[in-house]
Amino acid sequence: MLRRIALLAIVLAMAPGCTTVKGWFGGGKVKPNQPAELQKLASPIAVKKLWSISLGDGEDRSWLRLHPVLDSGRLYGVNDEGEVVAIDAATGKRLWVASAVEMKGKRSKLKFWSRETIEAGLTGSPGVGSGLVVVGGRNGEVVALSSDTGEKRWTAKVTSEVVSAPLVLAGRVIVRSNDGRVFGFDVADGSRKWVFDRGVPTLTVRGNGTPVAGNGLVYLGYDDGSVIALREEDGLQVWAQAVAEPDGRTELDRMSDVDGELQLGDQEVFASSYHDKTVALSAANGRPLWSHDVGSYAGLAMLSDKLLLSDKVGNVWALDRATGNPLWKQDALRNRQLTTPVVQGEYAVVGDLDGYLHWLRLDTGVVVGRTRIEHAALRGTPQVSPEGVLFAVSNEGKLSAYQLGN
C-alpha cells in the first residue's frame, strides 16, 4: 500500500497547477499541464551517438529513476530481471551479467497500479567502490558482487525495499531502506555494524537519493524535508537541519522531501526540497548559509560557480553557488518531467518524458542541442565520464552513449 501511495504521489507531483500559460513560443493558449512542444533548433550543436545496447527489461512506470554507475572505465546497470550488467564504457560491450536476486514473479504491464505479480527484483541503482558492486532489492535484499567478475561476495538484509543506490566506502556500505532506516555494513563481509532509524511521512515522493560522504560523515536527504549527517563509523547523528518545513492543508501540500542528488562542496552541503526550497548548509554543523525559493523532486548538479536543477514543473535553473541567487531560468521544457541535470563540457543536459536529451548552454540556459534515445521516458540521472562521454538509460532499459562533436 505504501508503494502505491508513493507512486500516486509521483503522478500528482507532475501536475504543476491549473493556470493556462500563454505565448511560451509566440503561439496561443497551451493546455494546463501539457508538455511544452519542442521547437526546432536554429543551429544545434553536433551530438554523436557512440553506441547503444539493451540492459534488459527496464523499470517501465515504477519511477525508480534507475541509472547506470560509472567506475574505472566500466558502467554497471540493473534490469527488471534481477540482473546486474557490467559494460565496457568505451565500446558498449557486455563484460559480465550476474543474477543478484532470484525472480519469483513477472510484472504485468497491463496493470499500471498493481505489482502483486512481482515478488522480488532490484529496485535501486548500483553503488560501486572498494572492488564491489552493491545493489538493493524489493524485499530488502542487499547483494555485493565483485566489480571485476560479478561473483557474489556477500548478502545482507534491511527492513524494506531499497530504492536508492548504496554508498560504498572504504570501510562501510551505507544502505537506506524505504522505511527511513539507514544501515551501515562492513564492506568486507556484509555484517551489520549500525542502524539509524528515522520515520517517514505517510505520503512521500518515494525518496531515492543516494547518500554522500566526506570528512567521516554521511549526509542524507529525508522525506520530512531535512538533511541528516551521521558518523560513518557508528551511525550516530551529528546534526539534522530542516530544508523546508512541511505546511499546507493536505498531505500532498505538506510533501517536502529532500530527494535526488545532494552535492557536497569543500565546506557546504547543497540540497533541494520538493517543497520549493534549495539550500546551502555548513557540512560541519548543518548551519544554513543561504536558501532560495525553488526546489526539485530530483536533485542538483554542482559546478565551481553554480548549481543546476530542474524544478517540478520543468523549469531548468542555474543558481549562484555562493549566494543562491538565480543566474538564469529556462522554461522551454515545462511539464516534460525532467531528470536531474548533469554537465557535459559547456552544457547542462537533462532527459525528459519522451526519451529526449536536451543540451543547454551553461552561461545562458539556451537550449542548443537535442537527441532522442527512443520513445520511452528518461527518469534516471544521466552520467558523464571524465572523458566527456554522456550515458543515459530509458525506462525500457535502452542504454546509449553520446559525445559532443561530429
Q: Please report, for the domain that includes residue 124, its CATH number.
A: 2.130.10.10
Integer Cα distance of 168 and 185 in angstroms: 10
E strands present in 64-221 = 69-71, 74-78, 83-88, 94-99, 127-129, 132-136, 141-146, 152-157, 167-168, 172-176, 181-186, 192-197, 212-214, 217-221
CA distances (Å), 355 to each of 71, 90, 333, 350, 398, in order? Answer: 25, 22, 13, 10, 10
- Reported as type and span, the H/E element at residue 343 is strand 342-344
Note whether residue 287 is domain-resident.
no
Note whether residue 190 is domain-resident.
yes
Cell representation of residue 296: 526539485
Environment class of 308 (CB within 10 Å of its CB; exposed 0-12, middle 13-18, buried 19+) = buried
Note whether residue 31 is domain-resident.
no
Cell representation of residue 171: 570501510
- On whether the CB atoms of residues 174 and 184 are closer than 8 A, the answer is yes
Note whether residue 202 is domain-resident.
no
Q: What is the pTM of this model?
A: 0.88
Note whether residue 187 is domain-resident.
yes
Note whether residue 161 is domain-resident.
yes
Overall number of domains in the chain: 1
Domain of residue 143: give its range: 66-197
Note whether residue 384 is domain-resident.
no
Report pLDDT for 12.
Answer: 41
Q: Are strands 263-264 and 74-78 parallel, antiparallel or unpaired?
A: unpaired
Which residue do the cell numbers 491549473 mark? 18
- On whether the CB atoms of residues 225 and 257 are closer than 8 A, the answer is yes
- Reported as type and span, the H/E element at residue 358 is strand 356-361
Q: What is the per-residue burial (b if ≥16 Cβ within 10 Å, else e) of 207-243?
A: bbbbbbbeeebbbbbbbbbbbbbbebeebeeebebbb
Angle, vertex CA 122, rays to CA 6 and CA 296, nearest 5: 40
Report pLDDT for 119.
Answer: 62
Count of all residues that appear for the chain in the document: 406
Report pLDDT for 225.
Answer: 82
- On whether the CB atoms of residues 396 and 380 are closer than 8 A, the answer is no
Angle, vertex CA 260, rays to CA 217 and CA 81, nearest 5: 105
pLDDT in tens, the chain (406 residues): 344 334 434 444 444 433 333 333 344 455 678 999 999 999 999 999 999 999 999 888 788 899 999 999 999 999 989 999 999 999 999 999 999 998 765 554 444 434 444 567 899 999 999 999 999 999 999 999 999 999 999 999 999 999 999 999 999 999 999 888 999 999 999 999 999 998 665 545 555 678 999 999 999 998 888 899 999 999 999 999 988 766 555 555 544 577 788 999 999 999 998 878 999 999 999 999 999 999 888 899 999 999 999 998 999 999 999 999 999 999 999 999 999 999 999 999 999 999 999 999 999 999 999 999 999 999 999 999 999 999 999 999 999 999 999 7
Which residue do the cell numbers 564491489 mark? 132
Note whether residue 264 is domain-resident.
no
DSSP category for residue 276: T
